[in-house]
Amino acid sequence: ERWSDTAILEEHAYTQELADSELPAVPPLAGAGGVTLHPYAGFRFAVFPRQGGHAPELDAAGTLERLGRLLGRLHAVGALRCFRQRPTLDIDTFGAQPSDYLLRQEALPADLSASYHQSVTLALDGVRRCYDRAGSIALIRLHGDCHVGNILWTDDGPHFVDFDDARAGPAVQDLWMLLSGDRTAMTLQLGRIVTGYRDFFDFDPRELHLIEALRTLRMIHYAGWLAQRWTDPAFPLAFPWFGTPRYWQERILELREQIALLDEPPLLLP
């Protein structure tokens, strides 16, 4: 099981807490007695209201500032208490454990295993240096997977969905996936997000040291997540390219590119 019942229920309580604070999160519907997690034929399920929308147009005027304000409000609620049942986003759970699993399970082609091992080792060393430069960073409850696919926009504005990766971590984890382009473009985007964010919650600029570290951990974790779920019949159908030599060659190249980026100066707020 990926999540225990108590961890799932903590996610449900978190999204309800956000909704109760008038944030556009989508909590599950509660049945009799307030139950949100239901068993059926060996499975567990929750029922959510149908709320559609499209991905936000990040280049549109005011969009990033608006998302920044919402994320500042979300983090102000997230900082009120800690998760008790859900894990922390850290180097071990998002980097060391998934990469060890890949190598231990021999998920890679034999002729690429050594290259991957070398690349992921150097990448994790770089991630640790980023964390050292950032120093002691506050960990708060996050969305955890805040990319544009999990933000749905309607005429009434955005709402956040898919909190199943919610966990504790640095606030910048919910910001960096909204950045794209070259360094200049990302600096401008970050400035707009943080301008809105600071209307509701403080942003620690030391966390900027973690952007490329968190990007690297996401890459490693995603490959490990796919490998761990590969026995699920739905996964080979949904991800037929996983495990091919080309897939791993691309992952190794990505890690090598990240190794260089991890020692570059962080983005600076304009």
Tell me which residues are annotated as active site. Answer: 145, 162
Tokens representing residue 113 in the block = 């295993």
Calculate helix-pair angle for 110-134, 97-104, nearest 10 degrees.
Answer: 170
Euclidean distance between CA atoms 266 and 270, whole angstroms: 12
Nearest C-alpha neighbor of 99 from the set 253, 217, 259, 12: 217
Q: Which helix (H) or strand (E) holds 132?
A: helix 110-134
In three-state secondary structure terms, 151 is strand
Q: Could you tell me which residues come within 8 angstroms of residue 176 by beta carbon, excluding any fewer than 6 positions away?
A: 211, 214, 215
Angle of helix 110-134 versus helix 211-228 axis, rounded to 10: 140
Q: What is the length of the chain? A: 270
CB 78 within 8 A of CB 71: no
Q: Look up residue 90 and give its two tokens.
A: 């850290």
